[in-house]
Amino acid sequence: MKSGYVVVKTSKTMELVDITMLLSTELKDCGIDQGVCLLFNPHTTAGLTINEGADPAVRVDIVDGFRKMVPLAHPFKHMEGNSPAHIMASLMGSSLTIAIDSGEFTLGTWQKIFFCEFDGPRTRKVHYHLLTEI
């Protein structure tokens, strides 16, 4: 097993950042052929997802969809003023499990791994555990 984290720097209040290559580099460095990658995001105003990475418009559409689903101007009680980000992060989720086969993530043709920022810009961490088959 190899554990660690990757650093993700976001530049917008809300955005999806493709972290597939960042994580693939970590996977290649550890030499795991078969196994599982567990990803965990320890931030309460950000999430993780797997979705289409070929067309950048999909990322914009996802953020725009969240903006429509979660009212940004609602009089939330949380004093920090970032309740919409907490709600969006809860909807997206904070962890992923990805199978590893032949030393690569078993993603679909168009799939990429995204860090979902909802309260940026910030510098964040995504923790990983790379587990080999027993």
Residue 1 has pLDDT above 90, yes or no: no
For the chain, domain boundaries: 2-132
| Angle, helices 56-69/83-92, rounded to nearest 10 degrees | 120
The CATH topology of domain 2-132 is Jelly Rolls (2.60.120)
> Mind listing the pLDDT tens digit for each residue in 15-50?
999 999 999 999 999 889 999 999 999 999 999 999
Predicted model pTM: 0.96
